Structure 1
């Protein structure tokens, strides 16, 4: 086969290594062989034949690239670069060129020479190759890379496609039409353009065009190389350069660069505008950087800076330079940086000069403030203190500044804070906090040079000074403040000790007074139940009234003490404003009528049926106000009017107006009304009596209720006391039985265990409106745990089946753990259980100690309210009853009772009160005796005193509850301890209820009825 004329040098060898096709354009004359006569390259004049043999052996199997020396005709040695491409028909294509030649990088000559070679080169090329019909601009043939470039599903999908349609927009297509006129057969024409794939994805490419022609055919060879990354990099670089130029041009600094000969390379507009007046019109790149007229010394200095940077150093110098204004001089900081070429060779210097005049003035101002501040200042870095002011020297009692330099401020700190606690954070943590927050303040005890400790507040602030981070520590000594704080602390401790002593004294006096008072009032109560003459009855009434007045005074003193110490807590619950008003007026009706006074109450239509308030404390205020009106009114009338005003956020302001036609109060004496232990004058005390505490307590209680008491009065015409409280309206009527329980602080908790979330929330709100605190149990295990922990559970509302237990299983476990347990249960059932086993006595209801009510779903709140009424009937207890009536309680609720009381008189009174209810009781003088009794006898009920010798009531109760050998009785505290928190302490100790002395028979009866009624 003869060679084809082409700039591409190739040799096609068969499997034996014999040439079958070739082209040596451009170097044929230099080689000393002829393939037509000598077709085997192995016989050629290789300088190293073994190297050719090694190359050929591997070239026929895989692509190889090698450079081999060859001796030309004239004896010169030429280096040939060889590349082998094996084909499927066991032929091997060798592409080669002289090492200095640029030919061989294109392949146009092969495309018309041999279809097999064309196909082979198509598949081997890393670039996309298209053969176009130059007349129609359509694709005739394409390689696999083109299929991948253009995201074509098959090679055939590109065939017959218009080449201009592959450009991303029409501008490129139009440019291609103009470019076609320049295509030749002798050289490539290359352009960069944006193309698009068949799926619309765009990419940038370098496109090479060349005409291929033969006697039978003419084609356009198009080689395409993806250069998207290069174009994007160029654009990014251009944008970066544009940004950099913008920064340089817009910088307030003077920026310029010079070469090794001190000639300007580039500079920004700021440099140009500043320096044009010195350079004149000759300022341009390539000009000598030093203008005419500059002194030789100045030139030497600047040359030394440039030379230092040319040696590779980067540095800054501070100095002065001319300013923008005529004759102006500014402080400047000029930084010098070496400029290096890509090989690292330094070719010039860049300089940046910044005006630091303001910074310099600020530093000078800081220095003046630093030096002359009365507050101690120190500056330090990692090497310690490097500057301090005279105030710091004075504070540390240091005469020589050099003694401080190099020391860390922490070396003067102790390990204590001013309050005596230990320092927890390290120096490093302190500095890190200052760096993070910008400033950090802390307190430490520091040491002077003489070892004296003093309290200091330190403000630590990080600063940048000469391009390094340093810390400014400002110390504020507060020795005087610390001494003042210590004195306040001591005074507080003394006041707290005095307050505790006062509380302890009041608690002791309360207990000591209540104990004999219990004997007095209890004995009178017993006397009233006997046959008395009229004279004896009169004496009993006097003793009873005196005892009650003494008890009121004692309670008032305790209330005032609780309020002043912040220990008195309100207990809001549903209250009927109408009933409460009528009840209070009713208490004073007989007293008023005895004096010939008319007393009445009026309720405005704006007042709701039910409100939320503390009924005990509200009643206490109204009784005090009405009691005063009855006391100080001799003729006329007394009225209690109740009104309501709307308040924001669904609140109400309830106003109780107490009006009378009494003696009135002088205007100048009104301010004395609410002062403790104060009367308007001594004659008032002599005539009317009283401690002067009632109004003081009432005013403070009103303030606790977010209200007030306002007084209007005229001497001789009467007074009006207006009590206002903040409350809220309730739409639900709380059953009277529940109100009675709440008033005695009994059964205040409702336990709810209902699976349905909506029903559970509905029941929870209902119970809360009824004055109960609500505990939620989500399983039978929760129920058993909560009942064992809480002593004041009044009602249990539940489904039949809980996740882990049924209700019968729960009730059985509760009874086994506490045989004396009494509990009211409301059970919510599905309708299908109406006639089930659970409705029988054997199924659910035969469980002593449990009062069970059943409701069927859906649950109606009206029906639930009726069940609450049934569950908590009013337990009416009358003071005057016959012996037959009182006997009925012991017959209805037979009990084995133990009375634990160390005071013999109180013991006798309690036994007599119990006997009036039909009970006899065994006695113990202290806890030790009580435990001894319990080892031998099982009791249903224990009345437990608290303060007793040998073992008090708290410890006795706890031992009873922990002793598994003792049957667990119901325990009721019967104590003279009536301070705030005493009731809670009794319940926490394990007692079931609480009665404070002096004890009334109604208190005992109410407790028994509640605890044992089921």
Structure 2
């Protein structure tokens, strides 16, 4: 509307200004004033002619009337003075022509005045001269009059034209104003139509809103600033149990707010009335509690908005009964907690079972290794090799389960090295050729296109994948053929994609099983009398490994004809390494390593020291991390074996301190020696600055291999974790290492420590104290060294309960510890 009012006001102002101009111009064109001025100009010439005529008559008469002559001259003189002095002729006097004529006439008058005013006789004599002068000045008088008249004529034309232009402008302005008023009238008509329509829409919207609020599943309650209820919809009646008739006019807080929230509600309403502060209004949905007519308190979801009306502010509350939602959320949280607890239990179970299974299994494999060094017959050697094969297969199954857990947890790390693909394929074919021949099948391999031998990739994962895929093909193919074909294709960023196809002529895979072939525990034949064995984990793990490397495994199969497995993954081609001679191991070189052994358990220190010194190495002992930091600062060691849990300073803190300092062993390889073999803990050790992890119990081969791996002139810069060391250590190996005469006193001392520990616990020592956790950890390390898994597990359970200060869990762990010790005690001294 303002867009029309302002131009209309401006138009009216313009018309008013133009009207004033017209009035002024008309006034200027006043005919009487104009005619008088022009008459004066014309009369000047008339007066001059009459004066000139009087001169002519005076010359003809004997007795001229000089009085009349002088009067005519005075009149003419007066006319000229008026033209020279009157203000109405001021603009005219600015005209050059008029000014020049006026000056000439003025000079004539000044020259004639003495003669006119002289005596009669003198005037009589001067008449001829006056007549001559009069005739001479006559054209100038004429020009004076004409130029004046021309000026006023032109001025009149100009004023008439100006008036005409002003009138035209006035007409245009009026036309524009009329047009604007017409448009404004049309606009007002449109606005009126819109207002009518909007009013109709508002009425309809109000009716729809009443329908919506009336049928809404959420309660809608409208109240004023005093908290009095102004509207109470049907859903509010159903939720709260009050009828709208009873609720209208009642206080909102007294009706639906529980007693424990009522004071806060009243304080909020008072604050809203006094200061206008809104803490809930317009803040979105909040969760509160409300009360029903029955007195039941229940959870609601509340949102409040405000609106202004002629009667004042009103507040609209939208409430939703969320009792079922809260219950569902509680059940969901409970289910989540149970799932997380189940996942943790699964992880703990896998960790514990891997520890417990590896302990006797590694002991078995270790004894088989020792047995190989004795004099055996050919049949016995074959039996030992068969047992070693079975043991390694079982160890592989355990590793498979742990690998699945690590992959699903996103903690499966790749270890890329420079490798020869052809050598890997050749080794796999060589290792499985015997099994293939046993089934009457042939196993062959080759390249399609140019070979890609040397690449940078994860050799362990690739070998594991191919062993599973090729192994399955060999296992299921009878009297057939297995072909392995390798091919490389170009990929992005200078990489290549390696595709390895394994094709067999076996029985094929059932179409119903094919979509699930990579699922865990999926086997081609799950019956009890199946001809081939397997856990059904191999292909699932192979698929996980392939995906972790950025590749994939696909399969095509035709029942009765065979299957084709295609394995593809990206690799980085590298140049073949230069041929080098075989580096002798540390022992063959006669190199003796200077080793710092950090261990708080005296028995463990003794066993490790004997294993190392028996091989000619030099060992320095530290009883805790603080001693290790001080010794490492002064002495350069080739290797530091660091226990993790120790008094004064633990192994992780000691490692960080050694790495942070500038001591002699700041860059020496540090290897964690611990009974904790979980990947998460090992990764934390490496982040602290350790180079590797060696798990308890220590084995002679494990220690020697570790020294060989770490005996390089320049310590490696924090490599990724190597393979976990072997767990078990059987008594026969300890006897060979420390001697039978020395071993038994150690076992007796360990037994005495265990007996004393149990007596202290039974005599009232706080099971949830840190001292209990420290003693349990120390003795658990000795139990691991002696290969006592059940006792070690019971001690670790007590240690964890004590560290968490869970007295109930500690009490529950005490009886299993007693039982484990009762079962273990006779083993330590069989005599």
Q: Which residue of 2 aligns with 1:447?
A: 290
Q: Which residue of 1 aligns with 2:823?
A: none
Determine if the alignment matches structure 1 residue 369 to structure 2 residue 69: no
1:84-483 paired onto structure 2 within 5 Å: 183=155, 246-252=183-189, 356-380=199-223, 384=227, 385-399=229-243, 400-402=246-248, 404=250, 428=278, 431=281, 441-448=284-291, 452-458=296-302, 472-483=316-327
* Equivalent of residue 887 in structure 1, options 561, 570, 587: 587
In the alignment, is the contact (CA less than 8 A) between 2:669 and 2:716 conserved in 1? Answer: no
In the alignment, is the contact (CA less than 8 A) between 1:900 and 1:942 conserved in 2? Answer: no
Distance (whole Å) between structure 2 residues aligned to residue 976 and residue 544 of structure 1: 24
**Distance change in 2, residues 1:381/1:550 (3 Å):** same
* Equivalent of residue 692 in structure 2, options 971, 993, 996: 993
**Distance change in 2, residues 1:1009/1:685 (3 Å):** farther
* Equivalent of residue 595 in structure 2, options 889, 893, 896: 896
**Distance change in 2, residues 1:958/1:707 (3 Å):** closer
Q: Which residue of 2 aligns with 1:625?
A: 469
CA RMSD of the aligned region, Å?
Answer: 5.5
In the alignment, is the contact (CA less than 8 A) between 1:510 and 1:978 conserved in 2? Answer: no
**Distance change in 2, residues 1:190/1:506 (3 Å):** same
Q: Report how far residue 575 of structure 1 moved.
A: 7.4
In the alignment, is the contact (CA less than 8 A) between 1:377 and 1:472 conserved in 2? Answer: yes
Unpaired runs of at least 5, structure 1? 1-105, 114-130, 136-177, 194-205, 207-230, 256-269, 271-331, 334-352, 417-425, 434-440, 737-868
1:346-745 paired onto structure 2 within 5 Å: 356-380=199-223, 384=227, 385-399=229-243, 400-402=246-248, 404=250, 428=278, 431=281, 441-448=284-291, 452-458=296-302, 472-515=316-359, 517-521=361-365, 534=378, 537-538=381-382, 540-564=384-408, 566-569=409-412, 571=414, 579-580=420-421, 582-593=423-434, 595-596=436-437, 597-605=441-449, 614-643=458-487, 655-662=499-506, 664-667=508-511, 670=514, 673-681=517-525, 688-704=532-548, 708-713=552-557, 717-725=561-569, 727=570, 730=572, 733=574
Which digits, 9 at most, give the CA deviation of each residue in 1:612-662, with x for residues without a partner? 865543432222111222333454432222356788999987543212234
In the alignment, is the contact (CA less than 8 A) between 1:413 and 1:444 conserved in 2? Answer: no
In the alignment, is the contact (CA less than 8 A) between 1:462 and 1:471 conserved in 2? Answer: yes
Distance (whole Å) between structure 2 residues aligned to residue 915 and residue 240 of structure 1: 119
Which digits, 9 at most, give the CA deviation of each residue in 1:760-779, with x for residues without a partner? xxxxxxxxxxxxxxxxxxxx
SS state at 2:587 partner: helix
In the alignment, is the contact (CA less than 8 A) between 1:556 and 1:693 conserved in 2? Answer: yes
Q: Which residue of 1 aligns with 2:617?
A: 919
Distance (whole Å) between structure 2 residues aligned to residue 684 and residue 567 of structure 1: 35
1:761-800 paired onto structure 2 within 5 Å: none
Distance (whole Å) between structure 1 residues aligned to residue 337 and residue 490 of structure 2: 45
**Distance change in 2, residues 1:718/1:190 (3 Å):** closer
Distance (whole Å) between structure 2 residues aligned to residue 641 and residue 612 of structure 1: 20
Distance (whole Å) between structure 2 residues aligned to residue 639 and residue 553 of structure 1: 26
**Distance change in 2, residues 1:989/1:688 (3 Å):** same
**Distance change in 2, residues 1:887/1:606 (3 Å):** closer
In the alignment, is the contact (CA less than 8 A) between 1:638 and 1:660 conserved in 2? Answer: yes
Which digits, 9 at most, give the CA deviation of each residue in 1:520-578, with x for residues without a partner? 545655666777665664455345334422321221111122234x33345486877xx
Q: Report how far residue 483 of structure 1 moved.
A: 0.9
Distance (whole Å) between structure 1 residues aligned to residue 627 and residue 641 of structure 2: 14
* Equivalent of residue 1007 in structure 1, options 710, 716, 719: 710
SS state at 1:183 partner: helix
In the alignment, is the contact (CA less than 8 A) between 2:425 and 2:445 conserved in 1? Answer: no
SS state at 1:981 partner: helix
Distance (whole Å) between structure 2 residues aligned to residue 637 and residue 601 of structure 1: 11
Distance (whole Å) between structure 1 residues aligned to residue 567 and residue 714 of structure 2: 37
Q: Report how far residue 1009 of structure 1 moved.
A: 2.7
TM-score by length of 1: 0.45
In the alignment, is the contact (CA less than 8 A) between 1:890 and 1:919 conserved in 2? Answer: no
Point out the structure with max Rg over C-alpha.
2
Which digits, 9 at most, give the CA deviation of each residue in 1:676-728, with x for residues without a partner? 34544467787544333212222344455565544444566543223345x4x
Q: Report how far residue 583 of structure 1 moved.
A: 0.6
**Distance change in 2, residues 1:714/1:681 (3 Å):** same
Q: Which has the higher helix share?
A: 2
SS state at 1:942 partner: strand
Q: Which has the higher strand share?
A: 1
Q: Report how far residue 401 of structure 1 moved.
A: 1.5
Distance (whole Å) between structure 2 residues aligned to residue 482 and residue 627 of structure 1: 54
SS state at 1:368 partner: helix
In the alignment, is the contact (CA less than 8 A) between 1:515 and 1:906 conserved in 2? Answer: no
Distance (whole Å) between structure 1 residues aligned to residue 216 and residue 151 of structure 2: 81
Q: Which has the higher contact order (CA 8 A, sep 6+)?
A: 2
Distance (whole Å) between structure 2 residues aligned to residue 485 and residue 361 of structure 1: 40
TM-score by length of 2: 0.53
Between the two proteins, the alignment pairs up a number of residues equal to 554
Q: Report how far residue 498 of structure 1 moved.
A: 1.6
**Distance change in 2, residues 1:996/1:679 (3 Å):** farther
**Distance change in 2, residues 1:483/1:525 (3 Å):** same
Q: Report how far residue 978 of structure 1 moved.
A: 4.0
Q: Which residue of 2 aligns with 1:941?
A: 639
**Distance change in 2, residues 1:913/1:955 (3 Å):** same
